[in-house]
Structure 1
């Protein structure tokens, strides 16, 4: 049997069966033999001339009569000519793979360390090149704030009222986003299959383009803490911002004033903004805000009962980006209480977070509206403690917004205010 080897289309070597010779690794590869084999116990051996380093094409043909030639099954094949010994080359390849794996592990550890950065004083300028740019820094997000308005499937009337007042729609929605202010309604899904309210919600979402649906959350009051967790997780996944606000659909906002307020605080980090309170833990199930796990908050020391820890009222509150990220990344191990504002306050307890208590985030009276004489005194949010929102919002929200928030320096007293004059505690 005669064997001919062609390299890059040129006859490079030819030999007969049984003629022992050093065998090129590429030829061994065609036969499925390991590098270092000196010759074949059965078959052929053939040596190739020295080739320049690089990739070459090898074709091997065999003939019994020197007239009819048949190509080997694995031919043609590409091989790389190298000055390294085949065994050394394989060892180097394994070493390179290990180095790549270790580099990936180190990169993951540095990324995790960067994510933890806002919760510790970390020395700057250390670590591999490029890590410093990945560290959380206040004020470097794409957007200023994402405002998520919690709403229900059956609350179309309230959403329409907000769209007529402070909630931007159409070209205004895009204009505010160009300024870094993203506003969306956030809604869960129905517990009932083929619920007409859910279908109407999808139609509304297509019409206005201002609704974010969370199909993994059943939209019920009992699941409000879970919905709030998903709200922050979803908003973080959709938009990069320095602040994330959750507001209810029965409160009124001054979007311009809130934007100015947050811009002035954009370089601060780890903020929890709202109207802070420390209300009584309701241990009687007949009350709306009954807390089934009241025992977690300790024992009553007097007739006033047990008090919650300090937390923001649920009508409107905001978190700076690192704080919102903490909730999103640890949602699976954060305990949820019956009331979502208590849940968020509890999640803040063990963190280095600054609680910003500002009554401008919960204006609740005509007197406060009349005090808006300078930009720094503008009401950011209007709600009423008695109703955990604006009482009778379907009829009172729009006139309150027009008289107090639309033109704050021209605020006047309306009769509607007198129905529920309240003060925040």
Structure 2
């Protein structure tokens, strides 16, 4: 027989063991209620989202997951915001604003992005030509900076290096550039042994790499440019993504070696020996997308005897808008002319 003390200890131990069990049961009950509540809430959310998706898409009952539903709804909201922004942009354009390079009534442009980079292709021994251009329409020093900041037009003389690197010709150009700071020197182009076609290609490539402009223009160093007329003309074409603008022509291909305009690869241009449509070389303009194209493909773009023909050949197979702008015909000054040869 157990003593009264033993019975008392047994009863006490049993009571103690019931207390943890009670706590465990209560915890399990509350946990079950919490989980059930969360599941019910998620189920309610799922039902709500699916109903919302059905209402938005109009496609009846949907079995799509909640995560995918949220993504679709977020995507739809983004589309709504984009549509609203497009409406605002269209309204702004109708009021005379443009998305890039805003033109003002006084002929100046916003500083968001340069309007055009003009490369004036020049050679050794032609400082008199360059000085005449600086005096006539390009300016120098503060006036050149004013054109850049006020009109968004960047002007640079473009030249390569001498075949004898570091000789007096190179030093003369470096000395002149030190005074004027208006050269783009093509370190990878050799003057004389490589023609203007290669120089023009490298100018567009380097200019596109250095300046994020709307347009890029090539000009000869015996041409005078009406800066204001050029800026106003280009501003009307800001909405066109790929343009090639100039005084368009075709012209005869000359196969006689003693001819001034001899084309060594004349046989590529067909039996009638007539060039394809291209802009005259005195001055022509391309948009940013085409300059970037030249920059990316500079190593494989073919050049012919003349830079204008070469440039035209690069764009034949592309979706490019050719703009025949008669005011780019630089034979002489005329009313509204953009350029003139001298």
Q: Note whether the superposition's TM-score is higher than 0.5.
A: yes
| Aligned residue among 336, 348, 357 for 2:324 | 357
Aligned to 1:190: 162
Aligned to 1:340: 307
The 8 Å contact of residues 274 and 357 in structure 1, kept in 2 or not, is answered as: yes
The 8 Å contact of residues 153 and 188 in structure 1, kept in 2 or not, is answered as: no
| Aligned residue among 177, 187, 209 for 1:205 | 177
Aligned to 1:292: 264
Q: RMSD value over aligned CA atoms?
A: 2.0
Report how far residue 250 of structure 1 moved.
0.1
Report how far residue 192 of structure 1 moved.
1.9
The 8 Å contact of residues 292 and 338 in structure 1, kept in 2 or not, is answered as: yes
| Aligned residue among 101, 104, 118 for 1:147 | 118
Paired residue secondary structure (1:267) = coil
Per-residue CA distance 1:329-384 (angstroms, 9 max, x = gap):
11112111111111100111001111111110124346xx2xx2xxxxx110112x
Q: Separation in 1 of the partners of 2:318 and 2:99?
A: 17
Report how far residue 270 of structure 1 moved.
0.6
Structure 2, unpaired ranges of 5+: 1-77, 80-97, 102-111
Change (3 A) 1:184 1:286: same
The 8 Å contact of residues 138 and 269 in structure 1, kept in 2 or not, is answered as: no
Paired residue secondary structure (1:319) = strand
Aligned to 1:69: none
Aligned to 1:266: 238
Q: Separation in 1 of the partners of 2:337 and 2:139?
A: 18
Q: Separation in 1 of the partners of 2:198 and 2:228?
A: 30
Q: Separation in 2 of the partners of 1:296 and 1:346?
A: 12
Which aligned pairs between 1:5-404 and structure 2 lie closer than 5 A?
139=100, 142-178=113-149, 179-220=151-192, 222-300=194-272, 306-365=273-332, 369=334, 372=335, 378-383=336-341, 390=342
Report how far residue 221 of structure 1 moved.
6.7
**TM-score (norm. length: structure 1):** 0.53
Q: Separation in 2 of the partners of 1:264 and 1:181?
A: 15
The 8 Å contact of residues 204 and 294 in structure 2, kept in 1 or not, is answered as: yes
Per-residue CA distance 1:114-149 (angstroms, 9 max, x = gap):
xxxxxxxxxxx99xxxxxxxxxx9836611000010
Q: Separation in 1 of the partners of 2:166 and 2:100?
A: 44
Paired residue secondary structure (2:160) = strand
Q: Relative contact order, CA 8 A, sep 6+: which one is greater?
A: 2
Per-residue CA distance 1:243-282 (angstroms, 9 max, x = gap):
0000000011111111111112222221000001101000
Structure 1, unpaired ranges of 5+: 1-124, 127-136, 301-305, 373-377, 384-389, 391-425
Aligned length: 237
Q: Which has the higher helix share?
A: 2
